[in-house]
Structures are given as C-alpha cells and as structure tokens.
Homo-oligomer: A and B are copies of this chain.
Amino acid sequence: MNVNEVAKALKELGHPTRLLIYKSIVKAGYQGVAVGNIQEQLGVPGSTLSHHISSLASAGLLSQRREGRTLFCVAQYQCLVEVVNFLQDECCIDEVQCRE
C-alpha cells in the first residue's frame, strides 16, 4: 500500500458517520452485516448510507456479498491492518522509536 492508497483509506475513515459504519461492519465479523441493518442502527437515509458505503468500498475497506435481496457488507481487515502498519512503520508510533 503506497502513500496515496493509505491516505485514501484514512480519508474515507475520517468521517464520523463512515467511521461508525465501518465500526459496525467490523464488529459484525466475517459474516458481515446487511445494509438495512446498518441503516436501522444509525438512522441514516438510505441514499446517504449507500454513498458512504461505496466510499469505504472504494478504499478497499470493505466488500459486499449479496444474499437474495439483502446486501451484506464485510470488512476487509487486511486493509486496515496495512493502514495501521503504515502509520507504525512510516510515522513511528512505536514507544521505543519516538519516546526516547
């Protein structure tokens, strides 16, 4: 993941509603969570929610899986792992490196 990809992921996570959406998806685990379920949880209009979800997807933070009429959002954990690794490696948040 290069600096542009990391920035893109951080940017998409950097919105209160999207961060809550992402949190909800991550908490749901590998089976994912239905869009409608997120909508109930957060009380966001469908069209707005849909845009936020596709923003997160465009950064590679989640993928979608259809089951009948419902679409499930599934976290792409590896993406967040790579973002955090970037922050730790490139922007050392390691105690040893930074605090001595």
Q: How many copies of this chain?
A: 2
Instruction: Quote the shortest CB–CB distance from A40 to chain B (angstroms).
Output: 19
* A84 interfacial contact with B, CB 8 Å: yes
Q: Which of B3, B20, B84 contacts A93 (CB 8 A)?
A: B84
Size range of the interface on A? 20 to 34
Main secondary structure of the interface of A (DSSP, over half): helix
Give bound CA distance, A19 to B18, whole Å. 20
CB contacts under 8 Å to B, within A57-94, are 75, 77, 80-81, 84, 87-88, 90-93
A contact set with B: CB distance below 8 Å: 3-4, 6-16, 18-20, 22-23, 26-27, 29, 75, 77, 80-81, 84, 87-88, 90-93, 98-99
